[in-house]
Amino acid sequence: MNGLDLNSIDVPMVMGVVNVTPDSFSDGGRFVSEQGQLNSDAAMLEAQRMLEAGASIIDIGGESTRPGAASVSEQQEIDRVMPVLERIVAGLDCVVSVDTSSPVLMRAAASAGAGLLNDVRSFQREGAARAAADSQLPICIMHMQGEPGSMQDDPEYGDVVGEVSWFLRRRIEQLGKSGVARNNIVIDPGFGFGKLLLHNLTLLAHLDQLHCLGCPMLVGMSRKSMLGQVLDKPVGERLFGGVAAASIAALKGAKIVRTHDVAATVDAVKFAHAVRGASDS
């Protein structure tokens, strides 16, 4: 399986996270050492475990985008991502998403069989929009105020839901001018990306307002600091909060839920979707 058919998502899909980085906030260092050595065997096994637990999409990232994260070179990112992508595409039956802002990696990933391009910078780097259009793949655009290194330095909003919606609408229109079909776009409100706790909670409470954009929605709150702030729990103890957040998102119509904790999230979004279906009947 390669491409993701956005029109066929009936039950919310779960996207499992495989970060091939030494410094991601939750799983950094599991598959790439601080010395830069990639363990593609371990990454492949993790992807397989997630698929067996019910994930439909595996999202591979080679650049940490946690607050304060250091940048990596384009070649470093390619060297981390491509060996894992190629192994998963060859050996596992799933959609593979590549989490990148690099146009070069986007093109290489598309050629190697990726089924989704997922860019936290919404394809705003030079050449990224053209790479997305040329790939003809589904893409995910995300709202972020600022850049990962500084995004949590006192972000401000007058109306966080309205401003996120405006940004995503503008990017949809701009990408359309670059040749990206609207029916190939997934939107992500960007929980934790340039947003304080109240901003995140407000977005989640009003998530259904983003349906006016006419695109399926991806959400990712797994293990994030918004959960830690509410629950007063460290990263490794945020499972139950993450499951609750995923359930709320699915109840409000999210089509893809990105998580580190696949099995629990699969059950949660399936049940939330059933409740949503009953409320619509």
Catalytic residues: 224, 258
Residues of 37-69 as b/e, b for ≥16 C-beta within 10 angstroms? ebebeebbebbeebbebbbbbbbbbbbbbbbeb
CB within 8 Å of 268: residues ≥ 6 apart: 243, 244, 246, 247, 250
Strand 57-61 and strand 116-119: the pairing is: unpaired
Provide φ and ψ at 226, rounded to 5°. Answer: -60, -35
Cα 84 to Cα 44: distance, rounded to the nearest angstrom: 7
Nearest to 78 by CA among 104, 55, 115, 56: 104
Query: Which residue's structure tokens are 């830690």?
Result: 228
